[in-house]
């Protein structure tokens, strides 16, 4: 539900905030929410907020990269990353959960969000947006 609400909120927000800034801010807020989700009592609210914050990342990232990358290659890279991410990281989340227990799940997801944030920051520097 929060993911759907986040998509609805991100549409008008994207008209006021540059796509690169929106994606960066969303990933920072998602990482913070996932860190808070490691506290069991706060987990329900923190996961709800993480869904809200992650909602604009894919669509806004697609718009941003389509604008700044010449030749129309952006959708290919964005969709490849979107399909490859779950394939690569799902086994990591599962393995860490098996090793360290359920408490590892939000911290592992936070690590994925921080990894994505590092990629976005690198792209912003590379593309100078």
48-54 long-range contacts, CB within 8 A, separation 24+: 48/1, 48/2, 49/2, 50/109, 51/1, 51/2, 51/3, 51/6, 52/2, 52/3, 52/5, 52/6, 52/9, 53/6, 53/26, 53/27, 53/29, 54/3, 54/6, 54/26, 54/27, 54/30, 54/113
Tell me how far apart the alpha carbons of residues 50 and 90 are, in angstroms, rounded to a whole number.
17
Question: pLDDT tens digit string along 18-40?
Answer: 999 999 999 999 999 999 999 99
For 74-102, write each residue's pLDDT tens digit. 888 888 888 988 899 999 999 999 999 99
**What pLDDT sits at residue 85?**
85
pLDDT at residue 105 above 90?
yes
Range in 7-11, 68-72, 123-127 with the lowest mean pLDDT? 68-72
pLDDT value for 71: 82
- Helical segments of 1-129, H only: 2-14, 19-36, 43-68, 74-100, 104-127
Contact call for residues 10 and 22 (beta carbons, < 8 A): yes
| Predicted pLDDT of residue 129 | 57
For residue 77, the model assigns a pLDDT of 85
Residues 36-74: tens digit of each pLDDT: 999 999 999 999 999 999 999 999 999 999 998 878 888
């Amino acid at each position: 539900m929060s993911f759907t609400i986040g998509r609805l909120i991100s549409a008008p927000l994207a008209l006021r905030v540059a796509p690169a800034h929106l994606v960066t801010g969303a990933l920072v807020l998602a990482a913070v929410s996932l860190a808070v989700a490691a506290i069991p009592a706060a987990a329900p609210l923190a996961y709800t907020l993480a869904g809200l914050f992650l909602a604009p990342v894919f669509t806004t990232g697609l718009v941003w990269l389509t604008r700044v990358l010449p030749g129309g290659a952006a959708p290919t890279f964005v969709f490849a990353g979107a399909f490859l991410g779950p394939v690569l990281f799902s086994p990591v989340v599962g393995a860490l959960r098996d090793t360290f227990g359920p408490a590892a799940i939000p911290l592992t997801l936070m690590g994925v969000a921080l990894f994505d944030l590092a990629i976005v920051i690198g792209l912003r520097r590379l593309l100078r947006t």
